[in-house]
Chain A
Amino acid sequence: MSRETLRAIQCPACGAGLDVLGGGRVAVMVCPYCTTELDAVQNFAALRKFDGLTRPNTPFRLGMEGEIAGIRHQIIGILGQVERWKGREWHWAEHLLYSETHGYSWLSLEDGHCLWSRRIRWSLPEQLFRPSYVNQQEHRPHFRAEGRTWHYLESTSQTADYVEGSFTWVPKLGDLTTSLSYLADGEILTVEAGASETEQTLTRWLPRAEVAKTFGIAESDLPRPQGRHPAEPLPQGDDRFALTTAGSCAAALLLLIGGLNAQTHVLLPRQPFPLSTLPRTIDLPVTQANRLMGIHLDSNVENGWHGFDLELEDPEGNLVFEREAGTSYYHGREDGEYWTEGDRSAHVTLRPAQTGTYRLTVANGGSEMEPGEAGQPATEVTLRVVEGEYSLSWILLGLVGLLGLGAAGPLRRWIARKTRLRHGDWDEE
C-alpha cells in the first residue's frame, strides 16, 4: 500500500498538477500533458520526455473509477499498443487499473471490445509457452488447467507506442514483447516469457454497456465493436432444462411404444401360400375397431413384377376394399458393380370400422418379366396380418426432434468455440 500523505504533485517539466495514482509499487509516472517520465521512487524527478506520441482511441481517462468483478478499480495508466505483421497494423489501448485491496489489473479496449486482464500464477506446462514448441506441433496444441481445456489461439508480438500515467515498471516504447495465448470458454490465458520468469495473465471479455456505465461514460463513446472477440462468452442456454425436457419426452415416447406394442395383435402369423393355391380366402377375427390393421405380403419374384389382387369384406359381407398390391425385384451387374431395385414386399393398411370376422381374399394378379433378363415369376406369396399397428415414422421423427432439442445448446457452443478459435493464427495445414 502506498503512503496516503502524497496525493498530488506538480510536474517538474510543465508545472501541471498531477494526481498521484496507484500504490507503493508504482515506479514511474508519465505526465499526460507533456509526456515527461517522472521517477515515482525518487521524489518525482524528471527522467526523460517522450515526443510525438499519439493518444490511442479511448474514452477512458486517468483517475476514472469503476467496478469490475465486484471490486472498485481506478485507471492509473494508459498504454497504446501496436502489433505489426506483414505490413498491417493492429492498435489497441490498455488501461492499468489499481485496487487498494486487489492490486493491479488491466482494462483493454480492443476492436471496440472491453477486456479485463489480471495476473495469475498457475502451475502450467512450460513448453506450451515456447513458440518453438508450438511451431513444431502438427495439431493445435492444448492442455488442461484449472478445470478447463485450453486451446492454442495465437502468438502476439507487440510494442507500446503511447504511455501516460502511473506504472509499476518502466515502460519502454518500441521494445518488442512476444506472448502466446490459449483460449478456453470465455477466457484467454496469455503467457509472456521473460528473462527470469514467465508472466501469466487471464483475460475475460466484459459487456461494453456494463463497463461504460460503471466508469461513467456513454457506451456510444466506445469505438464500435468489430466482429466477435475470441474471449466473448459462448452462447448460453438452459441446457439442463432442454436436456431434461428432451429426456422426459423421449422416455414418454418409449413408454408409448411399449404401450402400443402391447396392443399389437397378430391376426394371421407369417404364412407362405404357393401361387398354385390362389385365390385363397382367409378369415380375420378383428378385435380392435378403428385401429390400424396391416396386411403384409412378400413374394419371391426374380427380375420382374408380380401383382396380387386383394379383396376385403366386413363381418356383414360388405366390400371394404378391392385393390392390387404389387411386388417387384430387379438385380444385375453393370460396369462391374452389382445393383438391385424394387421391393418384394407390399403392405396395405386400413382402419376396420367394427370388430368381428373380416374375410380377406388374395388372388394372383399376374406378372411382368424384364425382357432379356434371367427372371422368374413369383411361385409363392407370404402373408401376415396384424391389428393394432402404429406408425413408426412419426415416432422416429419425434425422437429426432427431441435429440435435436437436447443437442442444440452443446452444438451451438461447439460451433461458437470453433468460430472463436478461427480468430487465432493456427493453421492445421
Chain B
Amino acid sequence: MGAQVKKSILRQISLYMVVMIVLIALGALMLYVVEDRIRSNYERELILIDQKTDLAIDIQQTMSGAVTELRGLMAFRQEEFVGKIKVREQAVNDDIDAFAKLELDAEGREYLQRLRVSRDRYFLDMVPVGIELGLQGDTAEMVRLSREENWTEFVDQFRVENIAYIDVLDRHADDAHEELTRDLKRASVSFTVYLVLVALIVGVLAIRLAKDIGLPLQELARVAKQHDADLLLRLPYDRRADEIGNLTVSLKTMWQQIRRNEREMIEQNEELQAQQEELISQQDELTETVAKMRQHEQVLEAQNRLNASLINTSSRDDLLKSIIQNLVTIQGVDKGAVVLLEAGYPHAAVGLTEAQTVAFFTNLDEGVLARLREERDTLVIERDAAGAEKGYHDLPIRLSDLFVPIFSQEEDVIALLVMTRLGRAFSKEDRAQARALANQVALAIEKWRAYEVSERERVVNQEILDSIREGVHLFDEQGELRQVNHTWKTWMADESTPAAADRRTKECVYRELRERALQADELIAFIEGAMLGERADGETRIYRLSGAEEKVMQVYFERIFDQNGVLRGTVFVHRDMTREYEVDQMKSEFVSTVSHELRTPLSSVLGFTELMLHKELKPERQRKYLETIHKEAERLTQLINDFLDIQRMEAGRQSYDFAKVDLVPLAKELIETMAFHAPQHRLELDAVTDPAPVRGDEAKLRQVLLNLIGNAMKYSPNGGEVRVMIREAGDELAVSVTDQGLGIPKESLGHLFTKFYRVDNSDRRKIGGTGLGLAICKEIVKAHDGRIEVESQLGEGSVFTLYFPRNQAVRGNEVRLSDGNGQEMPRLMIVEDDDSLALLLQEELQESGFAAEHVREGESALQRITEQLPDAIVLDIRLADTLSGWDVLERLKADERTASIPIFISSALEERERGMSLGANDYLIKPYQPAKLSNLILQTLLRKEKTGVIMVPTAKEGGEADERPQGEA
C-alpha cells in the first residue's frame, strides 16, 4: 500500500486528504458524544433532586397535616381524626420508603436517619399519647406534656430541619447546573484544542507534500528551462517511483538523445560543407558551358526566326530581308546579300549599301553563275580585301565569299545567296549548313510565289464575287465561314471585317440572320440541312429580310466536292426576289379578282340559259330571263372592255388622237344625253370659263366625263343635283362633278382609283359596275398630263375634279405613236395588194397596239422598208406590180440593213416550206383570223426583246367605255 501510494503523487495527496477528513470527523463525533453524556448526567441529577425535594416537601406537609389533625382531635375529641392521623402516618411511611429507595449521598442518608428518628418519636411516642389525651379530653395534660416534653419544639425543629434539607437540595440543583456549564465549556475547549491539533497535522502534511513534490518539480522546471545538462544529470530524483522520478528519467534520456543527435548533425554538416564546395566548383564549370550554349542558342534562334519568317512572312521584301539577316547570324559572316533571279532582281542585304548590292547583281559574274549552275553546289572564292573592304587595316586581309545557289523544284537557279567573311575561311560544315539552309529558303520562295499567284486569283475571285448582285457565302465542311461577298455583307449591314480576313463560324452568320431574317429558325435549319446533305440539290427556300425595306429572298445552295469526291464546303446564294415576288403577288391577286368578276355574270348567263333550255317557262318568265341574260352579257362585255382598256393603258399601249377640244360643248352634250336617262336627277352645267380648250383626245375625254357623271348619278340613288363646273384654277383648267349622293367613307378615298376597288358596303353592292371606271379615268387623265382628285363627305355627296394643263400649244390633228414613256410603238409594214384585207389587218394590228403602214407594190415596199426599217413586215406573195413576195423576201434578207426584220408571209398559196426556207418567221395561209397574225407578231417581237412591255390585244369597242346606269340601281 505504502509503495503504491509512493508511486503516485495523486494518490499521496488523496491519502492526506482522507486522513484529514477522518480526523476532523472523529473530533466532531467525540465532541457530540461527550456533550450528550454531560447533558444526560445533568438531567438525571436534576430529576433526582426534584424527586427528593418533592418527597421532602410532601413529608413536611403530611407531618404538618398530622399535627393539625392531632390538634383537631384535641379540640373536638372526635374519633374521625384518629383515622386521619393514621392515614397521615401511612403516607409519611410511604414517602420515607420512597426516599430511601432513591440514590442518596451522605447528606441524604443523614436526612433519612433523622427523618426516621423524628417519625418514630412523633408517631410512636407522641401520637398515641396525644390520641389518648385527646379522646379523654385532657387538654391540660396535653399542654403540660407539650410544654414539658418539648413537643411543640420538636414539631418546629422538624420543620426547620426539613426546610434546611430542601434548601440543601436547592443548592445541589444549582451546583449541578454550574457543573454542567463547566463541563460544556471544558468540552468545547477540548474540541478547539483538538482542531488546532488537526490543523497542525494538516500543516505538517502540506509541508511534507511541498517538500516531496513541489520542490523537485520546481527544480526540474528550473533545470529544464536553463537547458543545463549537468544540473539535470545531477538531479537525484530518478530513483523515485512516482511521476517526478519518471519525468526526471525521461528528461535525462531525452537530453542524452539530443546530445547524440547534435553530434550526428555536426558530423553531417561537415560532410555537407564538403559537398557544397564540390558543387561550387561544378557550377563554375556549368557557367562556362552555358555561355557556350548561349552562343549556340543565338544561332538556333536565328534559325528559328528564319524558319518562322519563311513560313509566315506575307510580303516578299520582308521575306528576303529576314532570310539574309538570319543567315548572316547563323553563318557568322560579316555581310551578305540575297537576290532573286527574276525581273527587277528583288533583293535584300546586310552590311552592304544599296549601291553595292545593286552593283553585285547587275555585274553578276556570269562565270560564277555558270559555275554554280554547272556544279550545283556552293562555291567559295578567297580573295584579298580591296578598297573600302580593308577599312583601317594596312596589312592585306583575306576574304572568303560563299556563293550559294537556290534551286527551284525544277532544278533552276531561282535565287542567289552570297556571304562574305573577313579573315576566317568557310569550313566544310559551314558549306553543308549553307546548302541545307538554301533548301529551306528555296521552299519558302516557291511557297511565296505560289501564295502570290493564289492571292492574286483570290482577289480576282473576291472581286467577281463582290460584283454579283446575289448574296453569296461559303461554309467549309467544318461549318466555318470561308467566303462572303459584298452584297451579302451589305444586306447583313455588316462592315466589320474585310472579306479576305473573314474567318468566322456559321454561328456568326446565324446570329446575323436571327437579327434580320423573319423566318430565321427555318432558314437556319435549311442551311444546316444543306450542309449536312439532307436537302435535295436544287432545293430552295424563300424567306424575308427585315430592314428599311422588307426583302423577299430566295436561297439556294451548291455543295462543293474536291477531285476525290470529298465535301469541301457549301456555297449559299441568296437572291433578292422582292420585285418578282411583288409582281407575282399582284398578278395572282389580279387574276383572282378578274376571275371572280367574270364568274358572276357568267354564272347568271349560264344559269338562266340552262333554265330556259331545260324547263317549261311562262313567256313572261322567259322574257325576264332573256333580259337578264342580255344585261349580264352586256355587263360581261363592259367588264372585259374596261379590263382590256385599263390593261392597254397601263401597258402604255393606248393610242390617243390629240387635238384641241373644247370641254364646254362636250360637257353640255353629255349632260343633255344623260338627263334623258335620269329623270330623278337635276343635271346642271356651270361653265365659269367658256370656251375651255384643252389638248386632248375627245373620245377619251368624253369617256372620262361620262364615267364621272354616271357615277355621280349612280351613287346618289335618291336623286338630287349633279353639277358639272368648268373653271380656271391657276395654270390649270378644272372640271368638277359634284353630287349630293351617298358620299365616300374617308378610309376608302385613297383606294378609289385602284382597279376593282369597290367601296365596301351593302348599299353600294346593289349599285352595278365593274370597279374599273375610275381607274380608267385616272389613266386617261394621266395621259393628258392632268390629274384627278376627289373630296367627299359621307352622306352628303362627293366632288370629283379633273385638272388639265392650260395654255398648252394645241396642235392640229396628230397621231401619237408613242406611249407616255416616249417609247416607240412597234411599227409594221403591210405589203398587200388587196386593199380591204389590208385595211382589216391594219385595224386589227392598230388595235393591238402596233402602228401599221400599208403598201401595195413590191418596189415601193422595198423602198419604204429600207427608209423606215419597221419592226416587222406582213408580206403577201402576190403583189400589185411585177415583183412577187418571194422577190421582196429574198431582197430584204440579202440586205443587211433589213435582214433581221421579222417577216410574216400572209398568202393563199400553200408554200409554207419555201417561205420558211427563205427566212420568213412564219407563214399564214389565207383566210386566217387577223388576231392570229397580231398574236404571232407580238410573240415574235417579244422574243426579239424589241420591247419589254407585254402587249395585249385590245377589244374592238375600246373607245367607248363607260358604266351605264342600270335600271335597278
The yes or no verdict on A and B being binding partners is no
Q: Which A residues are within 8 Å of any B CB, using their own CB?
A: none
